[in-house]
Structure formats: structure tokens, C-alpha cells
Amino acid sequence: MSMEFNSENFKKEVVEASKEKPVLVDFFAEWCGPCKMQGPIVDELAKEIGDKAIIGKLNIESTEDVAGEYGVMSIPTMLVFKDGEVKETMTGLREKGALKEILKKYL
């Protein structure tokens, strides 16, 4: 299962943790149709990747500050963090295989 990120844990669980292993963050909202399709894909990827990477979701409605800080304007948007920085930005619905390929570059 993927993690749930929020304003309180984002710095520690994403930015700091990405110094150890890559972190994929799925920015979503409950009302977003494509986000509802992306969610289960992100959960499946989290199961497959296991502890090689950290994979989680961030609800932009309750964490507008974080979404704003990273310039997330449309959803779903996924960011890959490594070494404390954003390395990849993907917008729109993505298949599991494509996400996995991008993450592999940072494992």
C-alpha cells in the first residue's frame, strides 16, 4: 500500500527520505476522475517495488501549501524525488509500466 503524505510529514517522509531512496508522490484530489484511475495503479506499483522506493499520495485539497511549493497546477501530477530534489515531473494518467521505468533510473 502506498503512503499518505501531508503538510506535516512531507519534508521528512519525502524530501529527507529521498536522500536514501527515490520517492514518488502522486498529487491528487478526491473529485478528480483521472486521479481515481491513477490511485490503484500507484498502489500496485508500491506493492511491486516494495522497500526499494517510497511511493505515496498527497491530497492537494488538504495540502495546498505543498502543491503550491512544487508548482502542481493540474492533477494527477507525479513527482519523483531523489537526493532531496525533484528529478521527474509527470502530469496526466500514467500506466504502471511507465512509472516503473522512470523509477528504475533512480534505484
Domain residue spans of the chain: 3-104
Q: Tell me if residue 20 is catalytic.
A: no
Give the per-residue pLDDT at 11. 96
Which residue spans within the chain are E strands per DSSP? Answer: 3-5, 23-28, 54-59, 77-82, 85-91
Give the per-residue pLDDT at 62. 93
Q: Tell me if residue 32 is catalytic.
A: yes
Task: Please write the tens of the pLDDT for every residue from 10-19.
Answer: 999 999 999 9
Q: Which residues of 39-57 are buried (b: 16+ CB within 10 A; e: fewer)?
A: bebbbebbeebeeebbbbb
Give the per-residue pLDDT at 53. 97
Residue 58: other Cβ atoms inside 10 A = 25
pLDDT in tens, the chain (107 residues): 689 999 999 999 999 999 999 999 999 999 999 999 999 999 999 999 999 999 999 999 999 999 999 999 999 999 999 999 999 999 999 999 999 999 999 99
CATH architecture of 3-104: 3-Layer(aba) Sandwich (3.40)
Name residue 33's amino acid. Answer: G
* Contacts of 59 by beta carbon, 8 Å cutoff, 6+ apart: 4, 6, 28, 29, 30
CA distances 86 to 31, 63, 70, Å, are 26, 18, 9
- Determine the Cα angle at 82 with ends 81 and 85, to 5°: 65
Q: Catalytic pick from 32, 86, 90, 102?
A: 32
Q: Catalytic pick from 35, 42, 58, 79?
A: 35
